Amino acid sequence: MSKFLFSLLACLLSAGLAPAEDGLRVVSYNVWYGFTKVPERKAAYLKWMKAQEPDVVSLQELNGYTADKLKADAAAWGHGHSAILKEDGFPTGISSRFPIEDVRRFREGFHHGQLRVLIKGIYFYVIHLHPSNWETRGREADLILADIESLPKGAEVMLVGDFNTFAAADRTHYAHGKLEPFFGKRDEKYKEKNLRDGKLDYSVIAKFTDAGMVDLEHAKRGKDYHFTGSFPTKIKKPGDHGNARRLDYVFAGPALARRVTRAEVVADDTTWKLSDHLPVIIDL
């Protein structure tokens, strides 16, 4: 009998019917000035977030937020744990269904700052790189990669947020050539540095992929994939904001990437009109 049970268990394991690892849903969202521009949409945002049943939520542009305000929002979607980078300027923050440990806040060398936490054995970096200077974004990327190198050997890492830059993986979607003149005008008018020698810069995202990080949304695109970018949305705001582009990403090391079952920019009737960015959802 014992040999029979052993054989049966072996068959179940080989068939993939052994208990699976716990799942994890990660949501990244740039919420445009913390809904201070459109306070009437805050309730719909909280409702949408709760409906996603997230386990970890990475947020950017928490303008006007305090630790207590983020804690209240997190409770609205079922999270008992949260951490905020700062309470001035353009804060980032994170909430979780699980305890948040080893909270690190970095300000030096970062335009908006950098928040890093540990949740369920994964180091989450809440990303919000410089909005208008590719050189500064490159230096910020170097600092993030250096910090990753300082983590314990074999540490699992996810980079989640608004990178404000372009991936070479999306190059074909920018072949229309409309973004270069758009950013050229901004660079001239506002003394920004969006373009690199008159062209879109792909070097910042390349730093992460060259380091072995996997662009999860790009890796999970299917044959029916339709490019929406993650910015701008259909929300009404002053000025010209250019053509669709992907600015929001989630990166992970190869081991975590192999666990991903879903990775997408969510463009639906609700998200098109909540913020000026679309959210990204990752399921492990």
- Delineate the domains of the chain, giving CATH numbers in brackets: 22-283 (3.60.10.10)
Gap between the Cα atoms of 176 and 251, Å rounded: 27
The model's pLDDT over 144-172, given as tens digits with 9 standing for 90+, comes to 999 999 999 999 999 999 999 999 999 99
Gap between the Cα atoms of 173 and 185, Å rounded: 21
Predicted pLDDT at 6:
43
Q: How many CA atoms lie within 13 A of 230 on its CB side?
A: 28
From residue 162, how far is each of 152, 176, 270 by CA, in Å?
26, 23, 20
Question: Which of 21-30, 216-225, 242-251, 266-275 shows the lowest mean pLDDT across its residues?
Answer: 21-30
Predicted pLDDT at 7:
46
Predicted pLDDT at 13:
39
Gap between the Cα atoms of 60 and 139, Å rounded: 19
Is there a contact between 185 and 119 (Cβ–Cβ < 8 Å)? Answer: no
The chain-wide mean pLDDT, for the chain, equals 93
Predicted pLDDT at 16:
36
- Written as six digits, the tokens of 70 are 């983020």
Q: What is the mean pLDDT of residues 233-241?
A: 91
Q: What is the mean pLDDT of residues 208-223?
A: 97
Predicted pLDDT at 201:
98
When pLDDT is cut at 50, 70 and 90, the band that residue 68 belongs to is very high
Q: Look-up: residue for tokens 């072996």?
A: 10
**Residue 148 φ/ψ region, left for φ over 0, alpha for ψ in the -120 to 50 degree band, beta for the rest:** alpha
Put simply, whether the predicted model's pTM sits higher than 0.75 gets the answer yes
DSSP string, the chain: -HHHHHHHHHHHHHTT-SPPPPP-EEEEEE-TGGGTS-GGGHHHHHHHHHHH--SEEEEE--TT--HHHHHHHHHHTT--EEEES-SSSS-EEEEESS--EEEEEE-TT-SS-EEEEEETTEEEEEEE--SSBHHHHHHHHHHHHHHHHTSPTT-EEEEEEE--S--GGGGGGGTT--HHHHHHHHHHHH--B-SBTTB---HHHHHHHHTT-EEHHHHT--TT-----SB--S---SS---S-B--EEEEE-HHHHTT-SEEEE--STTGGGTSSS--EEEE-
pLDDT above 80 (res 69): yes
Predicted pLDDT at 236:
87
Is there a contact between 190 and 158 (Cβ–Cβ < 8 Å)? Answer: no
pLDDT above 90 (res 9): no
Predicted pLDDT at 283:
98
pLDDT above 50 (res 17): no
The model's pLDDT over 104-114, given as tens digits with 9 standing for 90+, comes to 999 999 999 99
Q: What is the mean pLDDT of residues 257-274?
A: 97
Give bridge partners of residue 125 from the DSSP assignment: 116, 159
Cis before 54? omega within 30 = no
pLDDT above 80 (res 4): no
pLDDT above 90 coverage of the chain, percent: 90
Predicted pLDDT at 183:
98
Pairing mode of beta strands 92-96, 56-60: antiparallel
Predicted pLDDT at 22:
74
Predicted pLDDT at 8:
42
